[in-house]
Amino acid sequence: MKRLYTLVSVLLCVIMLLSACTTGKVETSGNADASQATNSSNGSSTRTDINLTLSSIGNSMDPHNSGVTIDLQVQEQIYESLVHVDEKSQVTPRLAKSYTVSDDGLVYTFELRDDVFFHNNEKMKASDVVWSIERAMKSSQMATYCGPIEKVEATGDNTVEITLKYAFAPFINYLYMVKIMSEAEVTSAGDMFSSKVTHAGTGPYMLTTYEPSTKIVLNAFPNYYRGEAAIKTINYYVITDSSSALIAFQNGEIDFASIPTANWAEVEASGQYANELVLSGDIRYLALNVGQKGPLADKRVRQAVQYALDKEAIAIIATDGLGVPADHMIAVGMYDGAVETDWVYEYNIDKCKELLAEAGYPNGVDIGVIETATQRVVAEAVQAQLEAAGIKCKVLVGEAATMVVDWRAGKYDMIVNRFPPAFTYDYYRRYNDYKIDVVFMKYNLNKDCDHEYITATFDKAAATMDKTERDAIYKELEEYLMDIAAWVPLFYPQIPYAWNKNLNAYGYMTYYEVYDWSWK
Amino acid sequence: MYRYIFKRLLIMIPVLLCVSFIVFGLMALAPGDPASIILGGTAEQEQIDKLNHEFGYDRPFLIRYGDFLQNLIFNLDFGTSYRTRQPVIEEIAKRTPVSITLALCGITCAALVGIPIGVLSAVKQYSLLDTILTVSALFLGAIPPFWLGMLLIYFCSYKAGWLPSFGIDSWINYILPAASIGIIYAAQQMRYTRSSMLETIRQDYVRTARAKGAAERTVIWRHALKNALLPTITVIGSNFGALIGGAIIVESLFSIPGLGTLTITGINNRDVPQVVAATLVLAIIYCLVLLLVDILYAAIDPRVKAKFTK
Amino acid sequence: MDNRKKRTGSKFKETWRRYCKSPAAMIGLIIFIIMFLVAIFANQIVPYSDAVTQNAKERLMQPSLNNWFGTDAFGRSIFARIVHATPTSLFIGISVAVISLVIGGMIGISSAYFGGRYDDLMMRFIDVLSSIPGTLLSMVVVAVLGANMRNMIIAMVIARIRVSARVSRSAVFGTTSQEYIEAAKCGGSSDIRIMIKHIVPNIMGILLVDTTMSVSTSILQAASLSFLGLGVQPPTPEWGSMLNDARIYMRTAPHMMFFPGFAILLASLSISLVGDGLRDALDPRLKS
């Protein structure tokens, strides 16, 4: 009996060791780089690699079929578009040397560079550009960005013409998301393209290792037309837990990281790292359903909610003091079309109670349920503030998959969510155009909201090519939407970044280019 | 005996069929669809319908299930993931050894520590040692697993720098995660063994053995332990099976790419092929483990053996 | 008639007497009773509003005279939240454990008793249930039914049944000799009577231990479910979700993790001590 017991335990140990050996790869683990990183301040040889972290597993390396930020950030190093648009909406040429727009705003003509190579050393031709854009047009993921495109054709060895269905001023911002790839490389890879190592990009880095659950490695492309990158290797490690990622960073295993807001004070105070706080347009908001058959259908109640919220307190709670209270859904000064308005809602409990009384609720009102999938803390803070102002409500935290279905059908009272950084004010249309049937805000269900006017104004602005005129139209629209008070902007987060003191890098809102970074 | 094993293997097939049907059905009952999640809340209905159609998600549940079965039986193909557009079996094949290793390490650690301590505690019942051990076990068993994991990372990885905190590069990476699991399960193991031993020691045949003058050690190890271990082995087997798919918190804390986090990702993304395939693989492993446990049953307890080989 | 009553009455007294002999069991009982009272009189101890009123200026404060357990990320009093979480967490833990014990026990005991085809079938059914990851079951149950405490309990019970069933089944095999059952059958009692009167008392010890482990596991599992957004809704206080909220502040405000963790520990420890004590006190072997 005892022998059997011993036998079994020995057997288990053997199995365990065998499995561990077969799964363990004895590559350089993150630990090995630790000593290297912490010693580089001694002036030892300059490093050529950089260790970064991904906060979730990768899904796909196909830029025409990716929506997850992690994937897009890695792809940003590998693929490029005809132009590059930075986070201040400045446009710089990339694969296209220059471009012109016809007077009616319908035809964009691009003059391509003639010294661009794909990572498989094949030269880029106009046909690749046309093929790539047409491929993107077929993808559901790219529908927003390719929507305005009527057709694209090569009108010369190095010229490509894109014709739009309608004049659309923000088009060039959207085009930035449509990456150009090698037709030959992608077609030969077939269905496996998005999940294995291929060389279809034109960017400064090419894919060398792709293990989306653990590690992705990029190497500098020698024939990059702007010159080979200073940092030769990018190692992306997947660390799903933010506290573990922070520890890895503080251990020196990671060179650049975004720091959880709870630990920012500690990291900044240590003085050991270069750091930066970046204001992001990734706004957190509270949406009030104008189509609700309850108190929220009344504009005065919605406006009361706007006055009831102490946004500063909410920001402090939700971001450990790193958030900036927001007055507008689209950040002023950050995006094209986002301009100052003549008035904003300030925190004023008296005005709130006044409006409630006017609307027939002098003793407070119950406005329903605040639903959220990912913004639990914000929702909790909002609920407490509303309670304090006499507005009762409950919080429901659920799964995105389940809730989105109801939200798109307009079946909710309130939502707390985040709105991703947009390129332009026009992006806001995706939340306000009643013609898009899955939009959360059903203005057409509320007789006090002129939904036709809203859609028409978005259209008018997009068709206006002159910036000053366009800004004026957007200002009018913003004030109208603010008056309806369906959207309550809460705060913009600031993202804390920290990195190794010997690295020349910078913080970013969504996308970064390792090409611009270097070691001292 | 072999007939019994063969019968059990045969029975696995309807069990697996049931599992696949239940999981498929549950996922169909759950609201939400993969395209909405992939494309986001503001995509147009047309695009969403189009993508769902590409996935074949808009067909009725029974047809989808029938298709899945057909694919599985005739082509040995588990389907294609909605999220990555690649065959689901690839990701699962990569992650299964990882999960198995993690679960084995954790359970072995728990058993090797918990069982002897449980026996010791039972034998020395009512002594100070027993009280200390029991209370320690209770204490450790009530610690939330992620708290323990965080503490281990904090002290062993961050403060002391001994052990890595993420990844699966080499066997060293498994130490902290296995400890997180092992410590908590050791406590549970110890308590089960102890109480089981106590029941057994009280039995008449043990008293008889003692009365016959057998040495205490023989009494304990030869007579009592055999019977006391029966429920314990069940628990070890169950735990192992549960851990392979259930070590989600440890997996996410230590960034270990295992089957647990894969299933959760699948559920969150309504990636039905991935969830069903992962669950089937987990089910197969679990059934095999239980078979092994039952064989051990028979090896240990002749009464059970007699029952099974009638 | 009178004799029977006296015997049952004295049996209870005897058990109680034996129970009181163990200091650990008494301590467990006292702690548990205190927690129970806290649960019932939560509103009298500290008003509920203290548990939910936020104050952005007083976040993450260390324990002090004003706030005995400090404040959390919203500036709420942790002491108030712990007190008001007691009824919620205790209720969840106990209901899940008891319900799954009853259902799982019925399955396991009947399975071991009848044996043969029935045993095979039930065990295969339990296997099917076990093969599906518990979290998947829980997530989908809640997704289909809605996210609230009742559905959370249902989801956790479904996941827990298989453990209770297996444990009770193997307990019957391990501790009750077949001859005993055969003898009872010969006595002419009905199957159910045999199961309840003879088998259950014999395995009561293991069942009790399993149930007490169940309670603490359930309280912890509730924490995991809260993590996935399937638990009690905010701002309802619950020890498990308090632990999760405290996770990111572990390094900067460790007091947030200490108190809810300690509360879970106390609850689990005391319930386990009570279970152990009961097991020792009920042990039929000691009667003779």
Higher pLDDT, B92 or B260: B92
Q: Indicate if the alpha-carbon torsion angle A427, A430, A431, A433 is positive or negative.
A: positive
Judge contact between A358 and A300, C-beta under 8 A.
Answer: yes
Which of 156-175 (C) contact B at CB < 8 A?
Answer: 162-163, 166-167, 170-171, 173-175
Of the residues B27, B37, B44, B274, the best mutation for testing chain A's interface (the one with the most A CB atoms within 10 Å of its CB) is: B44
Judge contact between C48 and C58, C-beta under 8 A.
Answer: no
Which of 41-70 (B) contact C at CB < 8 A?
Answer: none
Residue B220, number of CB atoms within 10 A of its CB: 21
Distance CA A8, CA A467 (A): 77
Does residue A210 have a pLDDT over 80?
Answer: yes
Based on the fold, state whether residues A401 and A328 are members of the same structural domain: yes
Q: A44 falls in which pLDDT band (50, 70, 90)?
A: very low
Higher pLDDT, B145 or A365: A365
pLDDT at A32: 37
Using a CB-CB distance cutoff of 8 angstroms, which residues of chain C are in contact with residue B146?
A: 247
Higher pLDDT, C137 or A323: A323
Average pLDDT over residues A173-194: 88
Task: Give the residue from chain C lying closest to B7, CA to CA.
Answer: C120
Interface chains of chain A (3 or more CB pairs under 8 Å): B, C
Judge contact between A440 and A408, C-beta under 8 A.
Answer: yes
Q: Is B246 part of a structural domain of the chain? A: yes
Average pLDDT over residues A473-482: 93
Distance CA A246, CA B166 (A): 11
Using a CB-CB distance cutoff of 8 angstroms, which residues of chain C are in contact with residue B301?
A: 173
Based on the fold, state whether residues A363 and A439 are members of the same structural domain: yes
pLDDT at A10: 56
CA-CA-CA-CA dihedral for B25, C223, C167, C113, to nearest 10: -50
Does residue C105 have a pLDDT over 60?
Answer: yes
Q: Determine if residue A19 is left, alpha or beta; phi over 0 gives left, psi from -120 to 50 gives alpha, anything else beta.
A: alpha
Whether B30 has its CB under 8 Å from any CB of chain A: the answer is yes
Based on the fold, state whether residues A365 and A448 are members of the same structural domain: yes
Q: Is B15 part of a structural domain of the chain? A: no
Contact criterion met (CB < 8 Å) for A21 and B167: no
Does residue B269 have a pLDDT over 70?
Answer: yes
| CA distances in angstroms from C263 to A509, B16, C40, C89, C258, listed in the order given | 41, 41, 16, 10, 9
Task: Give the residue from chain A lying closest to B259, CA to CA.
Answer: A213
Total count of domains within chain B: 1
Beta bridge partners of A98: A111
pLDDT at C228: 59
Distance CA C247, CA A372 (A): 20
Based on the fold, state whether residues A354 and A310 are members of the same structural domain: yes
Using a CB-CB distance cutoff of 8 angstroms, which residues of chain C are in contact with residue B227?
A: 174
Q: Determine if residue A368 is left, alpha or beta; phi over 0 gives left, psi from -120 to 50 gives alpha, anything else beta.
A: left
Most confident of B227-241, B263-277, B291-305: B263-277
Q: Determine if residue A190 is left, alpha or beta; phi over 0 gives left, psi from -120 to 50 gives alpha, anything else beta.
A: left
Based on the fold, state whether residues A447 and A392 are members of the same structural domain: yes
Q: Which of C176, C156, C144, C145 is nearest to C89 (CA)?
A: C156
Angle between helices C149-175 and B175-202 (to 10 degrees): 50
Using a CB-CB distance cutoff of 8 angstroms, which residues of chain C are in contact with residue B282?
A: 131, 133
Distance CA A147, CA A383 (A): 38
Q: Report the range of poorest mean pLDDT among A362-371, B95-104, B209-218.
A: B209-218
Q: Is C79 part of a structural domain of the chain? A: no
Does residue C285 have a pLDDT over 60?
Answer: no
CA contacts within 13 A on the Cβ side of A488: 31
Q: A37 falls in which pLDDT band (50, 70, 90)?
A: very low
Q: Is A196 part of a structural domain of the chain? A: no
Q: C254 falls in which pLDDT band (50, 70, 90)?
A: confident
User: In this structure, which amino acid lies at residue A225?
Assistant: Y
Range of the domain at C237: 85-282
> Residue A384: which of C52, C147, C251 has the nearest Cβ?
C52
> Residue C127: which of B32, B142, B287 has the nearest Cβ?
B287
Q: Is A68 part of a structural domain of the chain? A: no
CA contacts within 13 A on the Cβ side of A92: 6
Does residue A304 have a pLDDT over 90?
Answer: yes
Q: At A216, is the secondary structure helix, strand, or coil? A: strand
Q: Examine residue C235 and say whether the peptide bond preceding it is cis (omega within 30 degrees of 0).
A: yes
Sequence-ordered strand ranges (E) for A199-327: 205-211, 215-220, 233-238, 256-258, 274-279, 283-288, 324-325
| CA distances in angstroms from B26 to A439, B19, B260, C134, listed in the order given | 28, 10, 18, 13
CATH of the domain at C107: 1.10.3720.10
Contact criterion met (CB < 8 Å) for C54 and A398: no
Q: A94 falls in which pLDDT band (50, 70, 90)?
A: very high
Q: Indicate if the alpha-carbon torsion angle A66, A67, A69, A73 is positive or negative.
A: positive
Most confident of A23-27, B250-254, B305-309: B250-254
pLDDT at A300: 93
pLDDT at A14: 56
Q: Is C155 part of a structural domain of the chain? A: yes
Q: At A485, is the secondary structure helix, strand, or coil? A: coil
DSSP B56-71: TTTS-HHHHHHHHHHH
Residues 6+ apart with CB under 8 A from A517: A50, A230, A231, A503, A504, A505, A506
User: In this structure, which amino acid lies at residue A283?
Assistant: I
Which of 133-192 (B) contact A at CB < 8 A?
Answer: 150, 153-154, 157-158, 161, 164-171, 173-174
Higher pLDDT, A347 or A213: A347
Average pLDDT over residues A136-149: 87
Task: Give the residue from chain A lying closest to C146, CA to CA.
Answer: A398
Whether B307 has its CB under 8 Å from any CB of chain C: the answer is yes
Total count of domains within chain C: 1
Contact criterion met (CB < 8 Å) for B286 and C130: yes
Q: Is B133 part of a structural domain of the chain? A: yes
Q: Is C136 part of a structural domain of the chain? A: yes
CATH of the domain at A137: 3.90.76.10
Does residue B307 have a pLDDT over 60?
Answer: yes
Based on the fold, state whether residues A378 and A437 are members of the same structural domain: yes
Does residue A42 have a pLDDT over 70?
Answer: no
Distance CA B58, CA B68 (A): 14
Most confident of A242-251, A365-374, B255-264, C141-150: A365-374
Q: A354 falls in which pLDDT band (50, 70, 90)?
A: very high
pLDDT at A2: 46
Of the residues C227, C252, C256, the best mutation for testing chain A's interface (the one with the most A CB atoms within 10 Å of its CB) is: C252
pLDDT at A40: 39
pLDDT at A260: 92
The separation between the first and the last C-alpha atoms of chain A, rounded to the nearest angstrom, is 66
User: In this structure, which amino acid lies at residue A108?
Assistant: Y
| CA distances in angstroms from A302 to A359, A431, A450, listed in the order given | 10, 17, 16
Distance CA A56, CA A45 (A): 32
Based on the fold, state whether residues A317 and A452 are members of the same structural domain: yes
> Quick one: DSSP state of residue B57?
T
Based on the fold, state whether residues A385 and A437 are members of the same structural domain: yes
Whether A8 has its CB under 8 Å from any CB of chain B: the answer is yes
ipTM computed for the complex = 0.79
Beta bridge partners of A499: A256, A274
The separation between the first and the last C-alpha atoms of chain B, rounded to the nearest angstrom, is 9
Average pLDDT over residues A405-428: 86
> Residue C223: which of B29, B144, B238 has the nearest Cβ?
B144
Total count of domains within chain A: 3
Q: Report the range of poorest mean pLDDT among A263-267, C38-42, C270-274.
A: C270-274
Q: A41 falls in which pLDDT band (50, 70, 90)?
A: very low
Distance CA C205, CA A278 (A): 60
Does residue A80 have a pLDDT over 50?
Answer: yes
Does residue B7 have a pLDDT over 50?
Answer: yes
User: How many residue contacts between B and C have a Cβ separation below 8 Å?
Assistant: 153
CATH of the domain at B223: 1.10.3720.10
pLDDT at A254: 92
> Residue B169: which of A21, A27, A141 has the nearest Cβ?
A27
Q: Is B227 part of a structural domain of the chain? A: yes
pLDDT at C11: 67
pLDDT at A305: 94
Range of the domain at B244: 95-308
Higher pLDDT, A502 or C192: A502
A391-397 vs A365-372, strand pairing mode: parallel
User: In this structure, which amino acid lies at residue A196?
Assistant: K
Q: Is C128 part of a structural domain of the chain? A: yes
Q: In whole numbers, what is the pLDDT of chain C averaged over residues? A: 81
Q: Is B253 part of a structural domain of the chain? A: yes
pLDDT at A484: 92
Q: A212 falls in which pLDDT band (50, 70, 90)?
A: confident
Q: Is A388 part of a structural domain of the chain? A: yes
Of the residues C48, C49, C50, C54, the best mutation for testing chain A's interface (the one with the most A CB atoms within 10 Å of its CB) is: C54
Distance CA B293, CA B12 (A): 15
Higher pLDDT, C79 or B142: C79
DSSP B30-51: SS--HHHHHH-TTS-HHHHHHH
Which of 404-443 (A) contact B at CB < 8 A?
Answer: 404-405, 407-408, 417, 430-431, 436-440
Average pLDDT over residues B173-188: 87
Q: Report the range of poorest mean pLDDT among A197-201, A434-438, B177-181, C97-101.
A: A434-438
Q: Which two tokens stand for residue C193?
A: 């009577």
Range of the domain at A431: 283-492
Q: Determine if residue A360 is left, alpha or beta; phi over 0 gives left, psi from -120 to 50 gives alpha, anything else beta.
A: left
Based on the fold, state whether residues A84 and A39 are members of the same structural domain: no
Q: Is B89 part of a structural domain of the chain? A: no
Q: Is C33 part of a structural domain of the chain? A: no
pLDDT at C151: 85
